[in-house]
Amino acid sequence: MKKKDFPQLLFADEAGKVYPFEGLEAAGMKAGRFFHLDPAEFVKLPDFSELFMLPGRVPIGFDPETGVPGPLLSDPYSKEKKKCFAVAAFIPPGHSITHSAAFEEESGVPMLPLFSYAACVYYKNAFYAAAIQVDRDFRHDERFMDSGLIEKNIKNYTDLFPKNRLVPHLANCATVNACANAKNFFLGRFEAPIPTSPVCNAQCQGCISLQPDGRDFPSTQKRIAFVPTAQEIAELSLFHIEKVEDPIVSFGQGCEGEPTLSGDVIEKAIQLVRQKTSKGSININSNASRPQTVGKLFDAGLNSIRVSLNSVREPYYSLYYQPKGYSLATVIESIKAAKKRGGFVSLNYLSMPGFTDSVEEFQALKKFIAEHKIDMIQWRNLNYDPLHYFRDLGLLGKNVELLGMSHVIHNLEKEFPCLLMGYFNPQLPALKNAT
Residues that bind ligand SF4 (CB under 6 A): 200, 202-204, 207, 209, 257-258, 287
Residue 433 CB contacts under 8 Å (≥ 6 apart), including other chains? none
- For ligand SF4, the closer of residues 204 and 347 by Cβ is 204
Shortest distance, position 433 Cβ to ligand SF4, whole Å: 29
- For ligand SF4, the closer of residues 221 and 427 by Cβ is 221
**Residue 371 main-chain phi, psi, to 5 deg:** -65, -40
- For ligand SF4, the closer of residues 251 and 362 by Cβ is 251
Which helix (H) or strand (E) segment holds residue 386: the answer is helix 386-393
- For ligand SF4, the closer of residues 62 and 320 by Cβ is 320
Q: Position 278: which residue type?
A: S
118 with 90: CB under 8 angstroms?
yes
Tell me the torsion sign for CA atoms 311, 368, 411, 138: negative
Provide DSSP, 177-188: S--HHHHHHHHT
Shortest distance, position 191 Cβ to ligand SF4, whole Å: 18
Shortest distance, position 321 Cβ to ligand SF4, whole Å: 6
Round to whole Å and give the CA distance between 126 and 79: 27
Shortest distance, position 320 Cβ to ligand SF4, whole Å: 9
- For ligand SF4, the closer of residues 12 and 328 by Cβ is 328
- For ligand SF4, the closer of residues 220 and 427 by Cβ is 220
197 with 227: CB under 8 angstroms?
yes
Shortest distance, position 258 Cβ to ligand SF4, whole Å: 5
Q: Position 297: which residue type?
A: L
DSSP at 39: G
- For ligand SF4, the closer of residues 258 and 375 by Cβ is 258
Round to whole Å and give the CA distance between 308 and 328: 11
Round to whole Å and give the CA distance between 158 and 136: 33
- For ligand SF4, the closer of residues 120 and 208 by Cβ is 208
Buried b (16+ CB within 10 A) or exposed e, 126-162: ebbbbbbebbeeebbbeeebeeeebeebbeebeeebe
Shortest distance, position 307 Cβ to ligand SF4, whole Å: 10
Shortest distance, position 287 Cβ to ligand SF4, whole Å: 4
Shortest distance, position 36 Cβ to ligand SF4, whole Å: 34
Q: Cα(first)–Cα(last) distance of the chain, in Å?
A: 47
275 with 231: CB under 8 angstroms?
no
Rg of the chain on CA atoms, in Å: 22
